[in-house]
Amino acid sequence: MSQLLFTAFSNRADAVQLAQEAGRQLHDEGVTTRLHLLDVDATPDVDASTLVVSLGGDGTFLKSARLAHALGARVLAVNLGRLGFLLNVPSNEVVADAKFALSGDDVVERLALLISVSGTNLEEFALNEVVVERAHAGHMVRVKTFVDDDEFLTYSADGVMVATPTGSTGYNFSAGGPVVEATLPVMILTPVAPHFTIDRSIVVADDKVIRLVAQDKPAIIVADGQDIGSLDAGQFVEVRKSPSPVRVVATRSFDLASRLHEGLREGHA
């Protein structure tokens, strides 16, 4: 039997209910389903053949994508919110789209980031972005940036981020960065509220290595909205393309233009 893993947060009763209802329908089609609560359950015992179905908003999808990426599995993004820039499956189509996904292997490969920190064994993953940001409110952080071995700029700012095309509609967009087509092989370097320096983004090819060096103050490292570590002055983060992408199921088109229009009109972006 085909295997499917629904993922949701425990406080989303609508997602839990949808998983139960869809699971019953899919069982009649010969599909084994399980529900994994992202904030409660331990890592599920599944493998690359399992279809991961994210039920929720963008935050749910980011956690689900991390899980799927670690397994080498595909992930299907179901939208249970009003607007999800990363989500393209409406909740009333979850059964039909899951069946479609299980019958084929249509995927869009989304660039992910591999994050490492000097002087440590830390290696982390991000689908949207990684940010080196100030450790204390009311202070700036000074970050010297390099692209490969070429020194770029030193920013005094609230933070400096490296975003993927997938993440370009998130924090990067809020910080004034460009919206980038999700399939382009690039990374985006964007300062967050820079002080007395250039405030433009730089877009580089995804085969580059970007280095963010904390200059004279400690900083914290945030990946996809989660604190993953800290930097002492002189330490740096290296960001490169992950050797394996996130495999997002492509059951329908992703109309970025209309989603941006809706988000700007509703004040979500």
Tell me the average pLDDT of the chain. Answer: 90
Of residues 227 and 254, more confidence is placed in: 227
pLDDT at position 34 is 95
Task: Tell me the pTM.
Answer: 0.89
Q: Which of 58, 97, 158, 224 is catalytic?
A: 58
Instruction: Flag whether pLDDT at 36 surpasses 50.
Output: yes
Q: Which residues have a Cβ under 8 Å from the Cβ of 255 and sit 6 or more positions away?
A: none
Query: Across residues 170-186, what is the average pLDDT?
Result: 93
* Alpha helices by DSSP H, the chain: 13-27, 58-71, 94-103, 171-174, 256-266
Instruction: Flag whether pLDDT at 261 surpasses 70.
Output: no
pLDDT at position 198 is 83
Q: For strand 51-56 and strand 2-8, is the pairing parallel, antiparallel, or unpaired? A: parallel
Residue the block writes with tokens 């900083």: 219
- DSSP per residue, 24-56: HHHHTTTEEEEEEETTTSPPPS--TTSEEEEEE
106 assigned to active site: no
Could you tell me the domains of the chain? 2-110+245-266 (3.40.50.10330), 113-241 (2.60.200.30)
Write the DSSP symbol of residue 159: E
Q: How far apart are CA 249 and CA 234, in angstroms?
A: 41
103 class by beta-carbon count within 10 Å (0-12 exposed, 13-18 middle, 19+ buried): exposed
